[in-house]
Amino acid sequence: EVQLLESGGGLGRPGGSLRLSCAASGLSFSNHAMSWVRQAPGKGLEWVSGISAGGSDTYHADSVKGRFTISRDNSRNALYLQMNSLRVDDTAVYYCVKRNSAMFGFYFDSWGPGTLVTVSS
């Protein structure tokens, strides 16, 4: 059974930084693309960042481009999200998700429980 467990959430200051981690188990981690998806309080889901299985290709939503960086360490079965220049509207639960390929497009077949990031002065 795939298990994903996020950590690193908490209170961040506007303009500050936080680093999220995701520990993966129950899968051949290095064979799978991964992503981060977030959900602001009372709002819907928003894709944030994605990374290829080997880590060479990364993708970010326009809302976080230039501020967030996704990375992974396949030797540690770990996924990361470095969040810089935090803004109040980055406040959300951040989910670590395993990406799978459809015939045309992608979907997310495993989700962690999420970690809450609150950005406030």
Partner 1 sequence: QSVLTQPPSVSGAPGQRVTISCSGSRSNIGAGYDVHWYRQVPGTAPKLLIFGNTDRPSGVPDRISGAKSGASASLAITGLQAEDEADYYCQSYDPSLGGVVFGGGTKLTVL
For the CB of residue 22, give the shortest distance to partner 1 in the complex, in Å: 12
Rg (CA), the chain: 14
Measured on CA atoms in the order 30, 32, 33, 34, is the torsion positive or negative?
negative
For position 111 contacting partner 1 by CB under 8 A, the verdict is yes
Q: Which is nearer to partner 1, 78 or 111 (CB)?
A: 111
- Does 16 engage in binding with partner 1 (CB under 8 A)? no
3-state secondary structure of 30: helix
| Binding positions for partner 1, rule: CB under 8 A | 35, 44-47, 50, 59, 61-62, 95, 100, 102-114
